[in-house]
């Protein structure tokens, strides 16, 4: 597949209340999409292999089947008026195949670009947005050549399928090259130069088929063990950089002809330069704060955008901290409920609690970010 094929014969369609949204994927992102959709008066059908997955608990119906099951995707298409997804590893061919019978506003071009780091970086370069220097790498010899050009430190990443730091190796010197065998054998790779960032941030941007765009405030993201731990909004960077970050997200939305919501992850350096790290063609963990802290959540904007409803200007109602609840935090967070009248406790309803599995999150509206961070710290819950 090369350039965007305009997927879907049905274009510019207004999806009314009472219509059915079909969502491929039934995790927490699908659940929060479905919660918003239900509140707006939509029907929701979920495709997910796990019975009673998080989204199915709030949807009208679940089709229990693997995401790649063509028959199941056809069934979903037949039941839905509009089809969307909550994660990027969707079978593009299957979506193209059903696009003549259901409205697929997001098409497949965005997924095609974002499911492959190399294509994504090439797209960003073409759109004249700053990224880490990068080169494609296919084998050990190619890695050595790329290292000569890019230098240390550098990060080797699989082009496809990596997440939360999986499928990546940071390289500081030649002796680290031996650690790359597994990554190199798992498929095409990309070598990126290391960006000496001061902080990581992200911006959610939404756009509908009419070309209306709305952009969320900048979230500052702190990771623990490569997993998002905490988001602070607004990010603690000067207003000029916040504006620049938002403008970059808008530029990407336009360049990629976005429909729906997109997360743009960025690095900010000490001298005020912003690099784009990666794109998420869906709601993003760092945008969960918007449920309580904004006039419209990232999920509401996604639903409005794919249903081609007009898009509002996003306002941050109050500064906010969002902290993730992983498997190891669940019990302690539950015990904390009785002490925290102002914390918003989210739990995704996952049956199995596992170490490092995202089980829920907590959102805290605050006029004193530093004090709230200290309050979170003082609970001791997130020490591991
Ligand atoms: P990613 O999966 O690409 O988001 O990478 C996971 C994490 O690794 C990022 O959130 C960064 O903390 C770090 N990282 C990835 N690529 C780079 C890079 N080129 N320079 C500096 N840090 C990076």
The dihedral of CA 236, 155, 4, 298: what is its sign?
A: negative
| Helix 28-39 / helix 298-306 crossing angle, nearest 10 deg | 70
**Count of CB atoms within 10 A of residue 310's CB?**
10
- Bridge partner residues of 169 (DSSP): 156
β-pairing, 43-47 vs 61-63, is parallel
Please name the fold of domain 20-104: Rossmann fold (3.40.50)
Q: In which band, very low, low, confident or very high, does the pLDDT at 384 lie, cut at 50, 70 and 90?
A: confident
Q: Residues enclosing ligand 1, CB less than 6 A?
A: 132, 155, 162, 165, 192, 194-195, 197, 200, 223, 226, 265, 277-278
Please name the fold of domain 133-193: Dna Ligase; domain 1 (3.30.1490)
223 annotated as a binding-site residue? yes
- Per-residue pLDDT reduced to its tens digit, 288-324: 999 999 999 999 999 999 999 999 999 999 999 999 9
Judged by phi (left if over 0) then psi (alpha if -120 to 50, else beta), residue 110 lies in: alpha
* Element spanning 134, H or E: strand 134-137
For residue 378, what pLDDT is reported?
97
Cα-to-centroid distance, 66 and ligand 1 (Å):
30
For residue 176, what pLDDT is reported?
94
278 annotated as a binding-site residue? yes
* Extents of the domains making up the chain: 20-104, 133-193, 197-379
Judged by phi (left if over 0) then psi (alpha if -120 to 50, else beta), residue 120 lies in: alpha
- Per-residue pLDDT reduced to its tens digit, 75-117: 999 999 999 999 988 999 999 999 988 999 999 999 999 999 9
Residues in the chain, overall count: 384
**Count of CB atoms within 10 A of residue 315's CB?**
11
Burial class (CB in 10 A: 0-12, 13-18, 19+), 380: exposed
200 annotated as a binding-site residue? yes
Q: pLDDT exceeding 90 applies to what percent of the chain?
A: 93
Q: Which of 130, 152, 155, 201 most suits a substitution to test ligand 1, by most atoms within 8 Å of the C-beta?
A: 155
Q: From CA 56, how far away is CA 61, in angstroms rounded?
A: 7
Q: Is the peptide bond before 153 cis (omega within 30 degrees of 0)?
A: yes
Cα-to-centroid distance, 277 and ligand 1 (Å):
7
For residue 76, what pLDDT is reported?
98
- Residue indicated by tokens 């805290």: 364
For residue 167, what pLDDT is reported?
80
Residue from 318, 323, 322, 246 nearest 289 by CA: 322
3-state secondary structure of 44: strand
**Count of CB atoms within 10 A of residue 72's CB?**
19
Q: From CA 151, how far away is CA 131, in angstroms rounded?
A: 16
**Architecture category of domain 197-379 in CATH:** 2-Layer Sandwich (3.30)
240 annotated as a binding-site residue? no
Whether 321 contacts 364, CB under 8 Å? yes
Average pLDDT, the chain: 95
Q: From CA 196, how far away is CA 54, in angstroms rounded?
A: 37
Q: Which is more confidently placed, 232 or 182?
A: 232
- Per-residue pLDDT reduced to its tens digit, 18-31: 999 999 999 999 99
Q: Which of 164-168, 200-204, 218-222, 274-278 has the lowest mean pLDDT?
A: 164-168
Cα-to-centroid distance, 217 and ligand 1 (Å):
21
Residue 64 in tokens: 């229990």
Whether 51 contacts 28, CB under 8 Å? no
Residue from 61, 120, 69, 116 nearest 97 by CA: 69
- Residue indicated by tokens 């199995």: 352
Cα-to-centroid distance, 223 and ligand 1 (Å):
10
3-state secondary structure of 320: strand
For residue 113, what pLDDT is reported?
97
């Amino acid at each position: 597949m090369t350039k965007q094929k305009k997927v879907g014969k049905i274009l510019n369609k207004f999806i009314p209340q009472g219509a059915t949204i079909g969502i491929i994927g039934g995790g927490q992102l699908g659940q929060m999409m479905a919660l918003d959709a239900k509140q707006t008066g939509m029907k929701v059908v979920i495709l997910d292999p796990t019975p009673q997955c998080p989204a199915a608990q709030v949807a009208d119906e679940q089709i229990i089947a693997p995401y790649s099951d063509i028959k199941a995707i056809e069934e979903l298409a037949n039941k839905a008026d509009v089809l969307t997804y909550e994660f990027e590893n969707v079978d593009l061919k299957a979506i193209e195949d059903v696009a003549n019978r259901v409205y697929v506003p997001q098409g497949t071009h965005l997924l095609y670009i974002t499911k492959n780091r190399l294509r994504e970086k090439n797209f960003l370069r073409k759109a004249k947005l700053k990224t880490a220097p990068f080169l494609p790498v296919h084998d050990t010899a190619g890695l050595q050549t790329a290292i000569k050009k890019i230098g240390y430190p550098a990060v080797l990443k699989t082009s496809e399928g990596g997440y939360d730091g999986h499928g990546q190796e940071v390289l500081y010197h030649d002796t680290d090259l031996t650690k790359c065998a597994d990554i190199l054998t798992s498929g095409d790779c990309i070598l990126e130069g290391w960006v000496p960032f001061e902080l990581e941030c992200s911006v959610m941007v939404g756009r509908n088929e009419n070309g209306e765009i709305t952009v969320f405030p900048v979230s500052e993201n702190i990771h623990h063990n490569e997993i998002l731990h905490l988001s602070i909004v607004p990010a603690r960077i000067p207003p000029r950089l916040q504006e620049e970050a938002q403008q970059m997200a808008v530029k990407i939305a336009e360049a990629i002809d976005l429909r729906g919501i997109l997360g743009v992850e960025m690095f900010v350096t000490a001298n005020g330069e912003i690099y784009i790290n990666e794109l998420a063609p869906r709601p993003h963990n760092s945008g969960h704060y918007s449920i309580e802290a904004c006039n419209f959540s990232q999920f509401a904007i996604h639903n409005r955008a794919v249903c081609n409803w007009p898009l509002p200007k996003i306002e941050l109602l109050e500064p906010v901290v969002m902290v993730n609840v992983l498997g190891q935090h669940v019990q302690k967070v539950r015990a904390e409920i009785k002490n925290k009248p102002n914390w918003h406790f989210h739990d995704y309803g996952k049956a199995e609690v596992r170490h490092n599995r995202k089980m829920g999150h907590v959102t805290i509206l605050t006029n004193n970010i530093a004090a709230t961070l200290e309050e979170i710290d003082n609970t001791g819950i997130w020490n591991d």
